[in-house]
Amino acid sequence: MYNDIVLDHFQNPRNVGVIEDATVVAKEASPSCGDTTEFFLKIDDNDVITDIKFRTFGCAAAIASASMSTELIKGKTVEEARKITNKMVVDSLGGLPAPKVHCSVLAEGVINKALDEYVANKNNN
């Protein structure tokens, strides 16, 4: 059902864990299946995502999507990270079965929620 890239990101997820002094934290659950993903981002004064970690409680596709998402945005600016779409995550994973694409949508949504919160906090300071 899953290709080798998805299985690798599921069995050996990248950037899993928490960042105690994260700049921003965001969490959401998928309305379609209940999977939950939480991202912890460390963003420097130049708006560069210097570190990112995640925790996902869900299926293999949800864990792989979150793992790949961290790989795609780590080291990018907030503006660059906003351009990462769920389609890019799916493509980077070598594809997901159609019923599991919503897992990549969850990852994109949580990242955008975190970035929105970061920008809002920055604009209020």
Provide the pLDDT for residue 123.
85
Q: How far apart are CA 57 and CA 34, in angstroms?
A: 9
Work out the mean pLDDT of the chain and round it to a whole number.
95
Grade residue 33 by pLDDT with cuts at 50, 70 and 90.
confident
Q: How far apart are CA 83 and CA 52, in angstroms?
A: 17
Handedness of CA 101, 32, 106, 10 (dihedral sign): negative
Domain count, the chain: 1
Does residue 2 have a pLDDT over 90?
yes
What average pLDDT score do residues 2-23 get? 97
- pLDDT tens per residue, range 43-75: 999 999 999 999 999 999 999 999 999 999 999
Catalytic residues: 33, 103
Does a structural domain hold residue 61? Answer: yes
Does residue 9 have a pLDDT over 80?
yes
Does a structural domain hold residue 28? Answer: yes
Q: Write out the residue range of the structural domain in which residue 115 sits.
A: 4-120
Does residue 125 have a pLDDT over 80?
no
CATH number of the domain where residue 13 is located: 3.90.1010.10
